[in-house]
Amino acid sequence: MGLRDGPDFMPAFVAAQRGAGSDLRSVVASDLPTYRWFAEHDYETGTTRNERSDQGAYRGFSPSLTPDQRRIPIVFLGSMEPRHQLRVLEQLEHPWLVAGDTMKLYIREQPDALEPVLQRLDYLFLNASEAMALAKVDTIEAASAQLRHRFRLRGLVIKEGPKGATLYRQGEDIHLPALPVDPPIDPTGAGDAVAAGFLGCLAEQQVENEETVRLALGYAMVLASFTIQHFSVHGLQPITRADVEARMAAMAWQGQPTA
């Protein structure tokens, strides 16, 4: 895990991650406030409006990986300024899979910096409005076709809030509906949970094929469902692997072809 936190960052979160066995050597403390992101969520469409951010502790930040971190086989570049994502990419040594995320703020304001980052990804995770904004089209279908060809992605995951998510890859596209949660409390972080569930499954399986990516999308939907049940990370912190597997067993995780 790599991030730069401020004096207002939650010590309990860092302690919980350390207890879970996370590698926190690249967590850097700063005197500036922790990064903040502001947006309005539209639950029906799974999109955001009025995005803005306060870079805070990321001002003057330059991510640096240790020698062993540079050799990590699976890497996820969270949604941060493209120059930081590129800096991480430049330090990696022959990863098996690199995935990333971005947001409309960077698509709109930093397209030239974002382009070389996306060109080096194997998997890209976007919500529907981000995908259409990046492709400059009006439908998800057109966006998925254009982005996969433009960036030569092995896989593109487009998230649609309560409608679920679709994995677009060579061959059959796979769609899974979102798991019903009543009431949903806060969708913030659900997109990151999708990426975590998907990539965590592939890391565990150590192979990427039609069967494992279907399974990975199932875990993605399950972790997202836990995330939206509470604010912040409180929906994820108390759960166990047994909780995850129970919810996996309750859903049709095999997926449905989109065509």
What are the CB-based long-range contacts (under 8 Å, 24+) for 233-240? Answer: 233/13, 233/16, 233/189, 235/185, 236/193, 237/16
List pLDDT tens digits, range 121-149: 999 999 999 999 999 999 999 999 999 99
List pLDDT tens digits, range 73-94: 999 999 889 999 999 999 999 9
Helix (H, G, I), strand (E, B) or coil at 77: strand
Ordered structural domains, the chain, with CATH:
62-257 (3.40.1190.20)
List pLDDT tens digits, range 110-127: 999 999 999 999 999 999
| Amino acid identity, position 111 | P
d(CA 12, CA 93) in angstroms, rounded, equals 33
Tokens 């108390």 -> residue = 238
> pTM of the predicted model, to two decimals?
0.85
Q: Which residues of the chain have pLDDT under 70?
A: 1-21, 30, 35, 37, 41-50, 56-59, 252-259
